[in-house]
Structure 1
């Protein structure tokens, strides 16, 4: 009986592993400075979309970390991952957290600052 429960738990855990987001393209080429400004604006306003500030802080730390550390951060914060690329997550109380692609990775059409 314990074995079948363990198997399901393992299958469940593998579905919750964080992975890199798929490549994406911004509507127009942007510089790293513009991308960083967009990210800062998002994180400054994110708690106003609902949810708990400590979860937003954990998600920000996870997006800025490598995959192994990001996994540890979301696991320890109790974040429930719906999309493996972190675009949609929930906290233990059921609050939804949606992250735009630009906070998760760089676009394919990123250009050098002039």
Structure 2
């Protein structure tokens, strides 16, 4: 019987996620350029290691609203180190690093008119 205050391993995976803090890209970019950067990242990310299903879950979470993203992360068993999803792990210890540009828009985004 465990103590009421003891924490199980599963508690770490359910860390509440949030959007990254506002950030600025090195130069102003358009929405189209941002989307191209994101697509290139997701196309190459699985080649850096880890499991494809975790990468897929991270992509789905990155593209979803926060409440849905939280549900995706929890059900995939992703261990969140940074609440903004920039650093995560799977249960085998594989590390998944996400750049801020796949998680939110920069403050200097050029909005097409």
Q: TM-score, with normalisation over the residues of structure 1?
A: 0.89
Residue 20 (structure 1) shift = 1.3
The whole-number CA distance in structure 1 between the counterparts of 2:12 and 2:39 is 31
Match of 1:62 in 2: 61
Correspondence list, 1:1-114, <5 A: 2-5=3-6, 8=7, 12=11, 16-113=15-112
- Gap regions ≥5 residues in structure 2: none
The whole-number CA distance in structure 1 between the counterparts of 2:67 and 2:30 is 28
Residue 112 (structure 1) shift = 2.3
Secondary structure, counterpart of 1:19 in structure 2: coil
Secondary structure, counterpart of 1:89 in structure 2: strand
Displaced runs of 4+ in structure 1, greater than 4 A? 12-15
The whole-number CA distance in structure 2 between the counterparts of 1:105 and 1:15 is 21
- Gap regions ≥5 residues in structure 1: none
Which structure carries more helix by proportion? 1
Secondary structure, counterpart of 2:4 in structure 1: helix
What is the aligned residue count? 110
Pair 1:13–1:49, CA change in 2 (3 A):
closer
The whole-number CA distance in structure 2 between the counterparts of 1:70 and 1:15 is 11
